[in-house]
């Protein structure tokens, strides 16, 4: 009789354990989603142009061209009344509306004399917006200025740089 009670308790215990293990496991399902956004692009709309610049034979200086295309001379540099073409570089950025992006400017730009006789350095590049922008309606405009360093008695003539890169990336 003891064996019968033992078997009943043993079978009952196994049933309880089996039902407990069934209740200890549960399953849920989920889906996976991905949204592909439009690639960010940048297109040049205007080249950078410092315009006409005059320099002293003894004292050089700089011309700061800000992102709004305003020029400020220093030291031995003057700006003639005949300004020539003056413009900050301008770029149009397109992508997904509402997204923000970062802006990377070059450290400097070297401008070479048209006859290869001389060169000048443009550095301290700045932009509007500065560092980052937002694609309102899917577009934005970046304007880029720089500081042109002019040596004393800089060789007269036209100076032009190779293309320089402005890079944008989604944040």
**Domain definitions of the chain by residue range:** 41-170
**pLDDT digits over 39-89, tens only?**
999 999 999 999 999 999 999 999 999 999 999 999 999 999 999 999 999
Buried b (16+ CB within 10 A) or exposed e, 61-77: bbbbbbbebebebeebb
Quote the pLDDT of residue 22.
57
Q: Which residue has the higher pLDDT, 21 or 147?
A: 147
Quote the pLDDT of residue 116.
86
Quote the pLDDT of residue 16.
60
**pLDDT digits over 104-163, tens only?**
999 999 999 999 889 999 999 999 999 999 999 999 999 999 999 999 999 999 999 999
Q: What confidence category does residue 24 fall into, taking pLDDT thresholds of 50, 70 and 90?
A: confident
Beta strands in the chain (DSSP E): 41-46, 49-50, 54-55, 61-65, 71-73, 77-78, 86-87, 89-94, 100-104, 108-113, 119-128, 132-134, 139-150, 159-160, 167-170
Quote the pLDDT of residue 13.
59
Q: What is d(CA 128, CA 99) in angstroms, rounded to the nearest whole number? A: 17
Quote the pLDDT of residue 92.
98
Which CATH code for domain 41-170?
2.60.40
**pLDDT digits over 31-49, tens only?**
999 999 999 999 999 999 9
């Amino acid at each position: 009789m003891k064996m019968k009670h033992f078997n009943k308790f043993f079978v009952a215990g196994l049933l309880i354990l089996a039902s407990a293990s069934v209740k200890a496991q549960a399953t849920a399902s989920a889906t996976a989603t991905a949204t592909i956004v439009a690639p960010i692009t940048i297109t040049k709309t205007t080249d950078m142009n410092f315009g006409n610049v005059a320099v002293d034979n003894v004292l050089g200086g700089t011309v700061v061209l800000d992102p709004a295309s305003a020029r400020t001379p220093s030291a031995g540099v003057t700006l003639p009344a005949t300004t020539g073409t003056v413009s900050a570089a301008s770029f149009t950025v397109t992508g997904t509306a509402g997204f923000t992006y970062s802006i990377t400017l070059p450290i400097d730009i070297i401008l070479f004399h048209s006859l290869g006789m001389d060169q000048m350095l443009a550095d301290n590049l700045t932009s509007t917006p500065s560092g980052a922008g937002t694609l309102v309606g899917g577009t934005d405009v970046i304007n880029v200025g720089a500081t042109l360093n002019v040596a004393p008695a800089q060789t007269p003539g036209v100076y032009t740089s190779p293309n320089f890169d402005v890079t944008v990336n989604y944040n």
